[in-house]
Amino acid sequence: MTYVEFMMFKMLAGVLSFILIWNFGDCLDWPVKTIGKCCAKGEIISAGKNFSCVPQNISSELLKNETMGDNWVHFDECPDAGEVTIVKFSDVVDKGIDRINASSGCLDLFDGEDKLGVIPVIVHCKEHHFASLRIPKLNRFRVCCPRGLIYDSIIHDCIWDKSIDRFDIADYIFDIIGNHSLVEFSSFSRGPPQCKHAIVDYVIDSRTDLQILGNGTIRVSISSGTSVLLTEENSCLDRGTSSWLILRLCTGVEYCRRNACVRKCCPEGQARIGRVCQTIPQGTVPPGEFHRQLEQFSRATSNHSKWKPLDTAKYGLLIGEHSCEYGKYSLMPDEQPVIDSRGHIHIHHPEHERFRHHEYCMEIFRNVTSYDDGFHTAVCFSNPEPPEPNKWRFGINAALELTSCMFLLITFLVYVFLPLLQNLHGKTLMCHVASLFAAYACLAAIALTKPPDRVADTSPEDDEDNEISSDGGCKFLGYAMLFSFLAAFSWLNVMCFDIWWTFGGLGGAGGRRGAQRKRFFLYSLYAWGLAFILTCVAVTADYTSTLPTNLRPNIGIDTCWFNPDSSGVVIFFITPISIQLVANVAFFILTSLHCSRVRAEITRVMRPVTDPRSRRFHSDRSKLIVNIKLFIVMGISWIMEIISTFLNRYATDFNWRAEFFYVSDAFNCLQGLLIFILFVLKSKVYHALRHRLKEGSGSTPGRLNTTLQEPFRVQKSTSCSTLMSTFAINNVP
């Protein structure tokens, strides 16, 4: 290699090394530093003080683990004063960045005042440096009370810590995190979390209920089999008045559906002072005053035997006024408001009204015009034009349901009274009618027990005189009605399948009594079994945590039927019956196609009426026609019910959706009458009943012998239609 070639190779190697270092410096093993805390202990960065360190406020603090070594470095001045970069710590974590190319940087809390609040940030120089700064691990938690205070779970408020071995919960949590994980930083916010729904207090034992995971996350067991991971957004933790810890946890919307809840107008630590929510001046209101006033308010309910009083030892706290469509007003003492065990407000003057959790709030008033200082309740104005038709519509539906029950019972008794109707198809019809009768009986029981002015409410009451308990009779009726309706649709599905199976000739020699018994057993196994299994799954979902709350049936929680806000009605009721209705349509289409082919063949060869194939065709066609009528009676009305369900859930802006379904509701409520007309209100059945009654009374009609027979009966055929039977009166010599 010549000297010139050597120099060119050396220059090329230098260029390649520079390019490699410039572009792939992150991948090389350069010295790695750990980012330290920007400011001294007890200080944070302030935007209002020209990004300098200031004493931290009482609501936030950052602690660093001193046991991780002495390689913590404070932020040094950048070579160029304008080359400082401030990055949100959350942005770095979200992008998966674990190190920064810089020679100097730090982490601390940044007080962005009103715009950002207090958030953790990383500060480093804008420079192309071959050294790397490793992003430390940071966990964020929330402490319920300011330093020097502990949480009293009895009065639901923070009080001064008077214990001798005083320590702060933030220091305690940080110590145990440092002992069980490699987390370098922990930031703590002070004060309760802002919950979308209720916040609930739990007393926990740090020795058994609290667990530190390897990444520094805290897991707390709040009940048998239920645990939560604590975050800054969903909870706060603090010391209690004894050796226990207090966890204040944000719950979901389902909590207040199953437990007592109370709505407070203003955030915790605030009261209504001069018409607006303001922080309570120190010393003007003792700690826990809201809860003490709530206890006194609840005691007034104990004087009213109509409602059980609120248990103030355990309730969820809803924060903030709910928007009222027609405005709100504060109740006066002469209206005698009371609170029930669910946290609903009742007034009796001039007439009884009930206000649910989203229709009222309670607060301590100070210096509010026209109101004395003290505890007050604000409620929403009622709809100025209440939907009066709902009351008479409720009564009409109840009357129609009772009418259906009566005619279904008559239909069933007629089939029991006439044994000749009890062939395979007759038995399936009897099971279908019995299921519908049970379903409408449950509907009627609910309608008769629940007063008309409460039917529109979506929250259960505790009025034991006028309403079924949601823990007992209401749940039983709901599950019984679910089973009955599922069984009714299953038997309708069986009848549609049976006519397709029979008409298509797939049943073989199904006319033998043993074969029919076997088929009826299989049909019963399907219809009763499917309804039983789906009902058991619904009960299991309600009483276990196998499904998320929004997917559970929640029967008997807000109403005796499915919870209107839950998707359980779609999963456990709408979907199964929709599948069966679609299957019924498919069976009818297939049967009709086969019917057309057979009719064409009979027409082509001009078979006489007495021909067995022709007789069977006419018998099965008659049966098909009546089954189609039955499907129309149930199918069309329930298709409208399914549409109504989805409109009520997803088209709430359609103001006329209730009135739109008046006709279909009435049609649905009268299914029993329509079935009675189809299968009983016929001259043939009338004559058969007369004949049977005369036989039962011991009188004989002389030489008349009335028999129930079919016009096109074929031996060994399953098409023994009980639906289109005729009655022949023969003269006996």
Residue type, 724: M
Backbone φ and ψ of 163, nearest 5°: -75, 155
Q: How confident is the model at residue 714 (pLDDT cuts 50, 70, 90)?
A: very low
**pLDDT given for residue 535 in this prediction:** 96
Q: How confident is the model at residue 1 (pLDDT cuts 50, 70, 90)?
A: low
Instruction: Please state, in angstroms and rounded to a whole number, the distance separating the CA atoms of residues 135 and 73.
Output: 13
**pLDDT given for residue 82 in this prediction:** 56
**pLDDT given for residue 350 in this prediction:** 66
Q: How confident is the model at residue 4 (pLDDT cuts 50, 70, 90)?
A: very low
Strand 261-264 versus strand 43-46 pairing type? unpaired
**pLDDT given for residue 21 in this prediction:** 39
Which tokens sit at 485?
């309706």
**pLDDT given for residue 196 in this prediction:** 92
**pLDDT given for residue 95 in this prediction:** 84
More confident residue, 654 or 253: 253
Q: Is the pLDDT of residue 712 over 70?
A: no
More confident residue, 437 or 106: 437
Angle at 565 (CA atoms; ends 562, 567), nearest 5 degrees = 70
Lowest mean pLDDT among 41-55, 106-120, 497-511, 684-698: 497-511
Tell me: the pLDDT tens digits for 629-664?
656 656 666 677 777 666 666 655 555 555 556 676
**pLDDT given for residue 18 in this prediction:** 38
Tell me: the pLDDT tens digits for 297-306?
888 777 665 7
Tell me: the pLDDT tens digits for 566-625?
788 889 998 999 899 889 888 878 877 777 776 666 555 554 555 555 555 555 556 556
Of the spans 278-287, 595-604, 697-706, which averages the highest pLDDT? Answer: 278-287
Which tokens sit at 248?
């204040």
Lowest mean pLDDT among 166-175, 435-444, 650-659, 661-670: 650-659
**pLDDT given for residue 520 in this prediction:** 93
- Residues 682-686 have a mean pLDDT of 82
Tell me: the pLDDT tens digits for 361-405?
999 999 888 888 899 999 998 766 544 445 566 677 778 888 989
Lowest mean pLDDT among 126-140, 415-429, 651-665: 651-665
Instruction: Please state, in angstroms and rounded to a whole number, the distance separating the CA atoms of residues 307 and 463.
Output: 6
| Whether 164 contacts 219, CB under 8 Å | no
Structural domains in the chain, sorted by start: 26-136 (no CATH), 141-252 (no CATH), 261-380 (2.170.180), 389-709 (1.20.1070.10)
More confident residue, 32 or 84: 84
* Strand intervals (E) in 29-91: 32-34, 36-37, 43-46, 52-55, 60-64, 84-88
**pLDDT given for residue 143 in this prediction:** 93
**pLDDT given for residue 289 in this prediction:** 93
Residue type, 269: G
In angstroms, what is the C-alpha Rg of the chain?
38
Instruction: Please state, in angstroms and rounded to a whole number, the distance separating the CA atoms of residues 204 and 565.
Output: 32
Q: What percent of the chain has pLDDT over 90?
A: 24
**pLDDT given for residue 328 in this prediction:** 87
User: In the 8-state DSSP scheme, what is residue 316?
Assistant: E
Backbone φ and ψ of 173, nearest 5°: -65, -45
For residue 352, give the nearest of 306, 417, 404 by alpha carbon: 306
SS (H, E, C) 159-227: EECCCCCCCCHHHHHHHHHHHHCCCCEEEEEECCCCCCCCEEEEEECCCCCEEECCCCCEEEEEECCEE
User: In the 8-state DSSP scheme, what is residue 280?
Assistant: P
What is the DSSP annotation of 429-442? HHHHHHHHHHHHHH
Q: How confident is the model at residue 460 (pLDDT cuts 50, 70, 90)?
A: very low
* Strand intervals (E) in 320-404: 328-330, 338-339, 345-347, 353-355, 360-366, 374-380
Of the spans 232-236, 369-373, 416-420, which averages the highest pLDDT? Answer: 232-236
Which tokens sit at 361?
């709030």
Lowest mean pLDDT among 8-12, 32-36, 542-546: 8-12
What is the DSSP annotation of 472-522? THHHHHHHHHHHHHHHHHHHHHHHHHHHHHHHTTTT-STTSHHHHHHHHHH
List CB contacts of 308: < 8 A, sequence separation 6 or more: 301, 340, 341, 462
| Cis preceding linkage at 350, omega within 30 | yes
Which tokens sit at 457?
């409410």
More confident residue, 115 or 181: 181
**pLDDT given for residue 728 in this prediction:** 27
Which tokens sit at 508?
């073989």
Which tokens sit at 598?
């057979």
**pLDDT given for residue 648 in this prediction:** 63
Residue type, 605: V
Which tokens sit at 593?
């196609």
Q: Is the pLDDT of residue 72 over 70?
A: no
User: What is the average pLDDT value for the chain, to the nearest integer?
Assistant: 76
CA 353 to mean position of chain CA atoms? 27
Q: Is the pLDDT of residue 241 over 90?
A: no
**pLDDT given for residue 466 in this prediction:** 37
pTM value > 0.75: no
